[in-house]
Structures are given as C-alpha cells and as structure tokens.
Amino acid sequence: MKKSISMLLALVMVFGLTACGGSAEPTVPETVPSVSLEGTMEELVNQVITEQPVEFMGGIMPVDLADTSEDGLWAIKYYTGLDNADQIEDVAVYEPMMGSIAFSLVMVRAKDGVATKELAESMKAGIDTRKWICVEADDLKVTGFGDVVMLIMVGSDSGMTAQSFVDAFQKVCAAQVEGAALEFTI
C-alpha cells in the first residue's frame, strides 16, 4: 500500500514538473533604457526648471559619485536615496539656497544595462522626505525616460506640485525625442 501511494505521488510530481517546464523565454528587467536623452544631468535639470520655474533662489548641488568616503556616501544617500553610486553615472540636484523650503529635484543617468524603473523604486524607497531641519516634503514622484530618472519632492505648503515638474520633464523629453512619453511615474 505504501509503495503504491509513493508511486502515485512520484507520478503526480513528474507530471506537475513537466507541465511547468515549457520553453519560457528569459525575463528582461523592466525598463532597460532603449534611448538616451542628450545633455548632462545639470543641463536637463536646468531645462526642467525653465519649463517649471520656481519662486526661490536655488542652485545645483554637487555630488561626487567617486567619493566613497563616509561623507561621500552620505551625500549620495541624502540627495538620491541610494546607498552608493554603483548604478548611476551622472547626477544633478537642484535645491533651495535656504533650508526651510522642502524642495529637491534630482536627475540621474543610469549606467548601461541598469533597469531604470528598479533604480527609481530604490530611489523612492531610500529618500528621506524629512531631510531638512524644520520642513518635510509630502509630495513625491519619481519618473523616468530612457536612461534618465528624475526624483522630485516638494512640500504641499510651497504652492508647487511634484506633478508639475513631472509634466515639465515630459516636455523636455518630447523636445528631444518626437512623440516621447514618460516610461513610468511612481
């Protein structure tokens, strides 16, 4: 009796494994860039700010991606939400000159072969919306096109919305690539 049940279970397992076997194609990471926007990240940030002006004094903050010291890794985390620069090759950050305004616009270019949607999700999960002393960003979006990811976070009391900057980024992309549409927004 035990032998019959064992044999029956073995057959069920064989048929189950055969049914799952198939000739599945390997999965490709979601949103591996097929196009590349022209210009440095600083130039793209400036184009977005031109499309969607801000009403405060701001500027591009330097982030040294090659600096692996404690301070360098802190800066990468502070601005991008990433623990290191392994997946990015260029970054530009636009923030207010005064720290009492919750606003950060971050543009990164992914290295070749990096799935930008996964990179964007990591940035969103890792960013600190309370990184400023007295204010917090409560409107956060991360979007991407080609090999570029843009993270925007603002405080709702600023009169600005993250969506307005996503729309501005869409216009910048469309100006470079006819018929361009953002590949994702999270």
DSSP string, 16-81: HHHHHHTTPPPPPPTT--S---SS-HHHHHHHHHHHS--SS-EEEEP--TT--SHHHHHHHHHHHS
Distance, CA of 103 to CA of 151 (rounded, Å): 11
* Residue 1 pLDDT > 90: no
pLDDT of residue 34: 60
Distance, CA of 38 to CA of 147 (rounded, Å): 10
Confidence band, pLDDT 50/70/90 cuts, at residue 107: very high
Confidence band, pLDDT 50/70/90 cuts, at residue 2: very low
CA 164 to chain centre: 17
Strand bridging mode 139-145 / 184-185:
antiparallel
Distance, CA of 173 to CA of 183 (rounded, Å): 11
Q: How many DSSP H helices and E strands does the chain contain?
A: 5, 6
pLDDT of residue 25: 43
* Residue 18 pLDDT > 60: no
pLDDT of residue 114: 96
- What are the φ/ψ torsions at residue 83 (nearest 5 degrees)? -75, -25
* Residue 41 pLDDT > 90: yes
Q: Which of 157-162's residues contact partners 24+ apart within 8 Å by CB, and which partners?
A: 157/102, 158/101, 158/102, 158/103, 159/55, 160/54, 160/103
> What is the value of pTM for the model shown?
0.81
160-183 tens-digit pLDDT? 999 999 999 999 999 999 888 999
Lowest mean pLDDT among 46-50, 62-66, 117-121: 62-66
71-89 tens-digit pLDDT? 999 999 999 999 999 999 9
Distance, CA of 153 to CA of 163 (rounded, Å): 10
Average pLDDT over residues 132-137: 90
